């Protein structure tokens, strides 16, 4: 009997070590747990994006199977979560954006955007495995690209203290890595536009009432809520996944659509003015203070206050 079978009901680490994206496999339910573990600011740095892609590309190539201890195992669920306390993900690498825009390096900015879509699209498509259900576990702030990443899953489980939103309009930009498409699928186009243009960061409870968050959990109970959802739907997993697949057929999000939107995003980013870049830099400084000192509960509100 393999070590994995001995560990039924437990999680087994697998994949590359010492990366910014850690993965574990729960053989009892066939669940992958993927954790953001970024270096520095918990945003989508190039390093984090590449580490996620390395794992997910192998999952897609293996048709939804993972290799643990030399054996391949079918994955039924894939949970996306974070190791950073109180933060799911703060979104795009704003410090990098400022540098590239000031340098007028459109190609590098477009490369970053493409790498984001290379990560987003396979998850939206359930890694091209019709039997794999994706779940986002949001236990802290999910802003900008972090919110987009959460939206890319079939199911969103969020703890009550989590804040989510798309603050890009505050620096005269928009979320260009899937937010419009994925929000429109859940809320409709008009409501999606209103949320994007408002720049508001909303609590998980309000997003649950709006229909964006599927499961609302008490703080600290997010992982248990995921297990409960899996147990509740285990016997009807095939039917549930077929419903999610039907959702994709009725409201498809294609690779061509996402690529075209990122082109629009890059063009808009290259038109930003100095005042916009200054606001972006204020948000970066607020993010850094939050991670170093823990005295910034809302980075967007802090950045706005600095302009008053």
- β-partners of residue 35 are 22, 81
148-to-96, 174, 260 alpha-carbon distances in Å: 19, 12, 16
> Which residue, 133, 143, 136, 127, is CA-closest to 92?
143
The CATH number that applies at residue 31 is 3.90.226.10
pTM > 0.95: yes or no: no
Q: What is the DSSP secondary-structure string of 61-91? A: HTTSEEEETTEEEE-SEEEEEESSTTEEE--
pLDDT computed for residue 296 by the predictor? 63
Q: What torsion do the CA atoms of 178, 183, 188, 191 make, to the nearest 10 degrees?
A: -110
Half-sphere exposure of 159 (CA within 13 A, CB side): 21
In tens digits, what is the pLDDT along the chain, a chain of 308 residues? 344 444 445 899 998 888 999 999 999 999 999 999 999 899 999 999 999 999 999 999 998 999 888 888 999 999 999 999 999 999 999 999 999 999 999 999 999 999 999 999 999 999 999 899 999 999 999 999 999 999 999 999 999 999 999 999 999 999 999 999 999 999 999 999 999 999 999 999 999 999 999 999 999 999 999 999 999 999 999 999 999 999 999 999 999 999 999 999 999 999 999 999 999 999 999 888 877 766 667 777 766 776 75
Please state, in angstroms and rounded to a whole number, the distance separating the CA atoms of residues 51 and 65.
18
Q: Quick one: pLDDT at residue 150?
A: 98
- The per-residue pLDDT for 287 is 87
What does the pLDDT look like over 33-42, one tens digit per residue? Answer: 999 999 989 9
For residue 172, what pLDDT is reported?
Answer: 98
Q: Which range marks the domain in which residue 300 is found?
A: 3-307
Q: For the chain, how many structural domains are there in total?
A: 1
């Amino acid at each position: 009997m393999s070590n994995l079978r001995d560990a039924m009901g437990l999680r087994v680490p697998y994949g590359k070590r010492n990366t910014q994206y850690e993965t574990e496999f729960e053989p009892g339910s066939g669940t992958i747990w993927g954790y953001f573990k970024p270096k520095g600011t918990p945003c989508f740095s190039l390093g984090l994006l590449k580490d996620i892609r390395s794992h997910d590309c192998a999952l897609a190539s293996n048709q939804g199977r993972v290799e643990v201890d030399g054996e391949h195992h079918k994955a039924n669920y894939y949970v996306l979560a974070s190791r950073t306390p109180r933060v799911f993900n703060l979104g795009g690498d704003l410090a990098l954006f400022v540098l590239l825009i000031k340098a007028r390096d459109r190609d590098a900015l477009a490369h970053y955007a493409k790498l984001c879509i290379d990560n987003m699209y396979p998850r939206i498509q359930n890694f091209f495995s019709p039997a794999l259900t994706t779940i986002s576990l949001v236990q802290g702030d999910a802003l900008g690209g972090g919110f987009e990443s959460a939206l890319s899953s079939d199911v969103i489980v969020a703890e009550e203290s989590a804040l989510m939103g798309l603050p890009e309009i505050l620096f005269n930009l928009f979320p260009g890595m899937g937010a419009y498409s994925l929000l429109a699928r859940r809320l409709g186009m008009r409501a999606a536009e209103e949320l994007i243009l408002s720049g508001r960061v909303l609590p998980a409870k309000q997003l649950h009432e709006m229909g964006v968050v599927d499961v609302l959990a008490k703080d600290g109970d997010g992982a248990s809520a995921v297990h409960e959802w899996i147990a509740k739907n285990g016997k009807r997993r095939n039917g549930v996944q077929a419903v999610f697949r039907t959702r994709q057929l009725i409201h498809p999000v294609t690779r061509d659509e996402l690529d075209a939107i990122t082109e629009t995003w890059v063009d808009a980013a290259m038109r930003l003015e100095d005042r916009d870049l200054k606001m972006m830099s204020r948000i970066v400084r607020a993010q850094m203070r939050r991670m170093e000192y823990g005295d910034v509960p809302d980075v967007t509100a802090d950045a706005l206050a600095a302009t008053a």
